[in-house]
Amino acid sequence: MAALEFRDPIRAKALAAALARATGDVGREVSLMHVCGSHEQAIAKFGLRSAFPRDLNVIMGPGCPVCITDQPEIDEAVALARQGARIATYGDMVRVPGTAGSLADAQARGARIDTVYSVAQAVDLARETPDDVVFFATGFETTAVATAAVILAGVPKNFSVLSAHKYIPPVMEIVAEMPGTRVEGFLAAGHAATITGWGIFEPFVARHHLPVVVAGFEPLDILAALVKLVELVRDRAPAVVNMFPRCVTREGNRNAQRRLWQVFRPIGGRWRGIAHIPNGNLRLRDEWAAVDARRRFTIDLASLWQHAPSTLARQCICGNIMAGIASPDDCPLFGGACVPDAPVGACMVSSEGTCRIWHQYGGVPDLTAVARPFQGRDDRGAEGPALRDNASRGPVCPI
Amino acid sequence: MCLGVPGLVVEVDDLTAVVDFWGVRRRVRLDLVDEPVAAGDYVLNHVGFAIRRIPPEDVQTTLELYEQLLKEASGDLMATDVRSEIENLKSEF
Amino acid sequence: MSHLAADDRIMLKHGAGGRAMRRLIEDAFLRAFATDPEVPAGLVGVAAMDDGGAVRLGDRWLVMTTDSHVIQPPFFPGGDIGRLAVAGTVNDLAVMGAPDVLGLTCAVILEEGFPRADLERILASMRIACDEAGATVISGDTKVMGKGEIDGIVINTAGMALAPHLVRDAGLRPGDRIVVTGTLGDHGMAVMATRHGLALDVDLRSDVAPINGLIRAVMTAAPGAITAMKDPTRGGAATALHEMASKSGVGVMVDEAALPVRDTVRGVAELVGIDPLLVANEGKALLGVRADAVGRVLETLRAHPRGADAAVIGVCTEDRPGMVILDTGFGRRLVAEPEGELLPRIC
């Protein structure tokens, strides 16, 4: 296959120009929301925000599973670790604090925490040790299907799962219904939709009359999807459009869906700093009680909570920040009780969270006006050619 | 939310495949993939599992979608403008 | 309360080279070792938080530095803890402008049961690194601790060198170019790939090497051209550039397309979601270079075997002091410092 470029900066500039024109056509500020931490990561990594037009407000919604994993769920993992179980989990979760510290804190006090890249590694770990290995399972349906797959393939007796998996479609309903929300369209997560299929958004669009565009994660994917979404807003055309057809189909990955629902069932639960989300949490079905850490162990949260502070979480306004109706400055906790080292809400937890960025840089610095290095300088002669010798636009995305 | 990385299948061994990600190889499980995978295919990997075989024709469809979008977004009047913009950018890089 | 729980114990992040470590140093060590404000004319003390300290001796500076090395695994692709211990200290001296090492010390703490053969292999590797650096170990110390009281082996090396002029990490001026002496991220990614059971099949090697010869070459060929220097070890180039920018009171604009990063390092970076700018290097330096001398500096670096991939990666600006801004080719973003130990992520 030819080196097909989804990171072509030339096309990216053309798409950014198209985005500016489409936003200009609307003639007012447009607020869109993505519900995917990886979209925020990609937007940040490639510096796309500085390429968005001023009137386009791309809000980071509740799409980062690390951020929205509720404190009591982390507490369960910490309690199990303190009770002597070996906790295996994805690196993302290790430093996120619950009400009584994070897994990293527990590790500092002697608990055994293993960071894994794949749930399959956690199963391997259980095979190599006589100890109880509990996989603290976080992530959305994309990640949950992998947990389901290892359970269906058979796990050793000392392996169990503490599921904090989340299911993304229900939260979009909640955000769309938040009073005062300015969100006029959603960018849906391409990798989650790879599993669920884009058809799942059709009832949502019918109910809320808001357009949904499924987007991939390369710069061109994100820019093109935003152009499409702004056009749908401009044309008042609520519809689902799949702009990631290389990975997403209407019906999705049926094999993975089947496995997901064989192992998990959706139940309601709190998402950190947002709300109670009906059907937003994935728990193991009854027939998998034997591998469910919640049923295998008595999790002693009481001892953990003895000294826990009265819940600051009630004052947290992350939900409003994510809905685009408040800024960190409006929050009584921001910068005081809620700081990057001891975050209260979702927006301070993530490295790309709105509050975290505000805290680090005193607001969101406007980088649109910054000159490109070396460009338009008279003295580039000396290093000009040399500069580009090593120039590489990152690995060319093979597909 | 989910770091998905595309890679090229090098060899398939029953329920796993060796996949090349920019020169980095890793064994990936095939339990979840939606259709049979063979060496030479591209797959989307998430946490060590292939979650999608990426058909080459769908890659082409995606690219065409973007070209189409550019064409529509720019309209007839703007077309020259964008073309010259692209030309300028090309010379810049 | 949860705040206290996090702060009354030392955590891994306090040793990871990022902001948490800097805060610990500022809150604990600087308070203990602050120097009398009268002294500083002839002294670079801990408060400078530079790569080493220095004392004026007549018309020259005696530069000193000390570094303890712990790494799991002690043997990794491209090197081992011994080579790391020598290179780390020699490079800290070199980036202070003192590439001619007078002598090193070597203190080793071993865990009961540590294989003798491994120790000898490590010492042989130290010897090779010393030969490369033109350095000699002139004093040493050995301690053994009980099983489980220490993780295998810890090596501390200290070094001394004389320099006619110091090169500080705070000397950047607007207009200076930022030059890196070679590819970024090799060490951190090589070690990462062997840890966390990533099960990757990839030829990644640590860049661990003494680079005082390279620094000497460039200081000789272009005297006065280097305005600031730092080795981007733990915390990676991002942390080093942040420190240089904020101490110097300049902004730094980095051109992502110019960053020399091996394809394999980029590949692992994509897979585990970690930015190569945040990852440790053990055989590289970041140089602030006067704009008019950049050609000569690059030429000299590239003529040296340890500088073949040297590149100009950025420019210092009067604007936005203390900020490191990356131009990605698609837009711009702020480069954040890593918060703690880097872990592979899935989202």
Angstrom distance (rounded) from CA B35 to CA B28: 15
Q: Do residues C96 and C127 lie in contact, with contact meaning Cβ atoms separated by under 8 Å?
A: no
Chains touching B (at least 3 CB pairs under 8 A) are A, C
* Paired sense of beta strands A86-90 and B49-54, if any: unpaired
Residues of chain A positioned with their CB less than 8 A from the CB of C9: 105, 108-109
- The pLDDT tens digits for A348-383 are 887 767 888 788 776 667 777 676 666 544 444 344
Distance between C120 CA and the closest CA of chain A, angstroms: 31
Q: Are both A213 and A323 inside the same structural domain?
A: no
Q: Does domain B5-54 have CATH number 1.20.1250.20?
A: no
Domain harbouring A194, CATH code: 3.40.50.11750
Cβ-nearest to B69 among A65, A228, A399: A228
Containing A5, the helix (H) or strand (E) segment is none
Q: Are both A200 and A146 inside the same structural domain?
A: no
| Cβ pair A149:B49 closer than 8 A | yes
Report the complex ipTM: 0.86
- Residue range A274-287: mean pLDDT, rounded: 94
Mean pLDDT is lowest, of A134-148, C12-26, C135-149, for C12-26
- The pLDDT tens digits for C120-134 are 999 999 999 999 999
Neighbour order of strands in the sheet with A133-137: A113-116, A86-90, A133-137, A159-163
Q: If you count residue pairs, one on A and one on B, with CB atoms under 8 Å apart, how many are there? A: 160
Residue A387 lies in a domain: no
Q: Do residues C265 and C191 lie in contact, with contact meaning Cβ atoms separated by under 8 Å?
A: no
**Quick one: pLDDT at residue C36?**
62
Q: Are both A80 and A155 inside the same structural domain?
A: yes
| φ, ψ (nearest 5 deg) of residue A275 | -175, 175
Angstrom distance (rounded) from CA C94 to CA A154: 56
Residue A262 lies in a domain: yes
Distance between B73 CA and the closest CA of chain C, angstroms: 19
Q: Do residues B8 and B40 lie in contact, with contact meaning Cβ atoms separated by under 8 Å?
A: yes
Domain harbouring A81, CATH code: 3.40.50.11740
Residue A47 lies in a domain: yes
Q: Are both A162 and A178 inside the same structural domain?
A: no
Per-chain mean pLDDT for chain A: 86
Nearest in space to C302 (alpha carbons), one of C212, C244, C217: C217
Who has greater pLDDT, A179 or A107? Answer: A107
Angstrom distance (rounded) from CA B33 to CA A179: 40
Q: Are both A58 and A73 inside the same structural domain?
A: no
Q: Are both A281 and A158 inside the same structural domain?
A: yes
Angstrom distance (rounded) from CA B52 to CA B43: 6
Chain-centroid distance of CA B43 in Å reads 9
CA distances from C80 to A48, C121, C142 (A): 40, 9, 19
Q: Are both A212 and A297 inside the same structural domain?
A: no
Beta bridge partners of C107: C141, C156
pTM of the complete model beyond 0.90: no
**Quick one: pLDDT at residue C143?**
96
Q: Please give the domain boundaries of chain C with CATH numbers for all domains.
A: 35-163 (3.30.1330.10), 177-334 (3.90.650.10)
Query: Quick count: other Cβ atoms within 10 Å of Cβ A2?
Result: 9
Angstrom distance (rounded) from CA A252 to CA A263: 18
Residues 209-268 of A with CB under 8 A from B: 216-217, 220-221, 224, 227-228, 231, 243-247, 253-256, 259
**Quick one: pLDDT at residue A311?**
65
Cβ-nearest to A382 among C294, C327, C347: C294
Structural domain boundaries, residue A335: 312-361
